Chains A and B, each alone.
Chain A
Amino acid sequence: MQKSALAFVPGDSFIHHLNPITIVTYVLGVTVLGIGISQIWLLLIIFVFNLLLIMEARVMRSFLYMFIRVTLPIIIPMFIIDSLFYPGSKTILYSFGPLAIRYEGLMFALTVISRLLSILSAYFLMVLVIHPRDLMIALGEHGVSPKVGYLMLATLQLIPYIQQTAERILDAQRSRGLSLKGSLVKRIKSYLPLMAPVVMGSFSSLEIRAMALEVRGFNLPIKRVYIREVLDTPKDSRLRFVIISGAVLLLALSIYLRVRA
């Protein structure tokens, strides 16, 4: 049995009941702010706000699991390298042996990490509270082609099974004496012959899947009516307005503070 690639955690929080487009708007707003804002304290406020939303959605456990697996391996080396070796850093804060933590490098590392924390936490929130099928439906309701939605959703769902096929082929080759030990170059060379059966097998599956979609009327020029209702309430519209306005205001505040400083 293969675990699904979906990170979605079912729930009954108010965030789960929001239209996916509202949550996507929030994530895009946070992304713009994460890139545009340079004040660490402002970025950390956004991160803390995201954590509050994650708590409200009751997905903190899954969030921490993703956070530890995805974010920590990026930010820990980044913090060490930038604070020790950031080019042009002069002000030494603490030194041990030949190494020294410098103020400029530390500030750079903290800024980049705050950006990452604010943006990634919003993305994690999104994948934890939106079922991809709801997102596909909501995008369709807002005029996005069902093909785009399908592509996004099917890719997510099918990745573990392609991995499973690759592992099966790998095991079959190993049982015939394929060695995957040795230098990096040797291992890469060993993996190369595995690509053909995996890729060709995927193409063949793709052809059948395309036919299966065709015979289910996927290409019919008819407006789809989804069984699952994804509501877009006036509350969602108001919330999207608040999110966009808030993002613009925060960005303006950040620019104002930067100019004044």
Chain B
Amino acid sequence: MGIQIKDVSYRYPTADARADSTRGGWALAHIDLSIKDGELLAVLGRNGSGKSTLCLLMNGLIPHFFKGKMYGEVTINGRNTAEVEPSDLVTEISVVFQNPFDQLTGSASTVYDEVAIGPENLGFPREESKARIKQALVDAGITELVDRDPFQLSGGQQQRVAIASVLAMRPKILVLDEPTSQLDPVGTDEVFEVIHRLHSQGMTIILAEHKVDAIAELADRVAVLKEGSIQCVGSPKEILTRPDLEAMGILPPRCTDLAMRLESQGIWQHDLPLSIAETARGLQEVLCR
């Protein structure tokens, strides 16, 4: 069933309609989007394009946590998010935010206790909670950190703790709002590795990101947001090789950009590549010609 977003517009309660004449204060306008089970949808867009708002909308934090003005309808596996509290949706959908530090609850002094909070709140029997925690730690690749103080970890490790904390509730859908924006390259790779593993296990994932190179290899579909509206949705190949991508505020992956430049000089004669492997193959042919 997945997520269905039907003609949704949203304005924050603090938004000033006069301040932004082009958008009238609307953070999102007329969003139509459908995400299938098991799909990894990447959401691209410049800062302020509405990516975070879309993430908050998907699990009902909008309109329950942030009031504001909302039109349209969001359904998660058939349940209308406006009619169900976000906490009632935790086994359906969960969200990981940008700043790993701020997501730590502050009530746990070990990683194990931090990951345990979700299952404890859901009231599972102890043995079931323990099994869920163990699996979440494995899935997030942090089994070696169980006894560490979550506040003393690196950003990448903290973000994986945040992912494990929501995985322990076994949601069917995971929304990640720029999970690597505050991480160094090593931390970023660690988090993308976890996302790739979860996706290959069949989890539905919505990933708001700036790092197009990683998106090109991870995503099944890409949606581009600009000023609160969806500009285009399609496969990574369709979207990231579009000539008007830069006009939407997105730079193409570096290898695609290289191929585009070579193409403009008549050197590259294949489909535009998205991955380094594809580019390497294409370049090999160019050099051997």
Residue B185 lies at the interface, judged by CB distance under 8 Å to chain A: no
Residues of B within 8 A of A222 (CB): 121-123
In the docked arrangement, what's the CA distance between A1 and B88, Å?
Answer: 37
CB-contact partner of A213 in B94, B95, B105, under 8 A: B105
Residue B149 lies at the interface, judged by CB distance under 8 Å to chain A: yes
In the docked arrangement, what's the CA distance between A2 and B104, Å?
Answer: 15
Select the residue from A131, A158, A211, A219 with max chain B CB neighbours within 10 A.
A211
* B155 CB, min distance to chain A CBs, angstroms: 14
CB-contact partner of A133 in B103, B107, B119, B133, under 8 A: B107
Q: A214-B87, A227-B126 are in contact. Are A136 and B165 (CB under 8 A)?
A: no
In the docked arrangement, what's the CA distance between A158 and B105, Å?
Answer: 9
Residues of A within 8 A of B126 (CB): 225, 227, 229
Chain B: CB-nearest residue to A223: B123
* A138 CB, min distance to chain B CBs, angstroms: 14
In the docked arrangement, what's the CA distance between A67 and B123, Å?
Answer: 40
Size of A's binding interface in residues, CB under 8 A: 37
Q: A2-B151, A161-B151, A208-B97 are in contact. Are A220 and B105 (CB under 8 A)?
A: no
CB-contact partner of B108 in A133, A205, A210, A225, under 8 A: A133
Chain B: CB-nearest residue to A226: B120
Q: Are A153 and B88 in contact (CB under 8 A)?
A: no
Taking CB atoms and an 8 Å cut-off, the chain B residues in 82-104 that contact chain A are 85-88, 90, 94-95, 97, 99, 101-104
CB-contact partner of A150 in B103, B107, B113, under 8 A: B107
Q: Are A225 and B129 in contact (CB under 8 A)?
A: yes
Q: Are A216 and B107 in contact (CB under 8 A)?
A: no
* A199 CB, min distance to chain B CBs, angstroms: 15
Residue A224 lies at the interface, judged by CB distance under 8 Å to chain B: yes
Q: Are B133 and A212 in contact (CB under 8 A)?
A: no
Q: Are A228 and B113 in contact (CB under 8 A)?
A: yes
Residues of B within 8 A of A228 (CB): 113
* A51 CB, min distance to chain B CBs, angstroms: 27
Q: Are B166 and A215 in contact (CB under 8 A)?
A: yes
In the docked arrangement, what's the CA distance between A149 and B106, Å?
Answer: 12
CB-contact partner of A225 in B61, B113, B123, B133, under 8 A: B123
Q: Are B102 and A208 in contact (CB under 8 A)?
A: yes
Q: A216-B121, A222-B122, A227-B120 are in contact. Are A154 and B87 (CB under 8 A)?
A: no
Residue A218 lies at the interface, judged by CB distance under 8 Å to chain B: yes
* B72 CB, min distance to chain A CBs, angstroms: 21
Q: Are A212 and B113 in contact (CB under 8 A)?
A: no
* B289 CB, min distance to chain A CBs, angstroms: 53
Q: Are A220 and B122 in contact (CB under 8 A)?
A: yes
Residues of B within 8 A of A17 (CB): none
Residue A217 lies at the interface, judged by CB distance under 8 Å to chain B: yes
Residue B117 lies at the interface, judged by CB distance under 8 Å to chain A: yes
Interfacial residues, chain B to chain A (CB-CB below 8 A): 56, 59, 61, 65, 85-88, 90, 94-95, 97, 99, 101-109, 112-113, 116-126, 129-130, 133, 149, 151-152, 162, 165-166, 169
Interfacial residues, chain A to chain B (CB-CB below 8 A): 1-2, 4, 6, 131, 133, 136, 149-150, 153-154, 157-158, 161, 204-205, 208-220, 222-229
Q: Given A157-B107, A209-B102, A215-B90, 7 other A-B contacts at CB below 8 A?
A: A133-B107, A161-B101, A208-B97, A208-B99, A208-B102, A211-B65, A222-B123
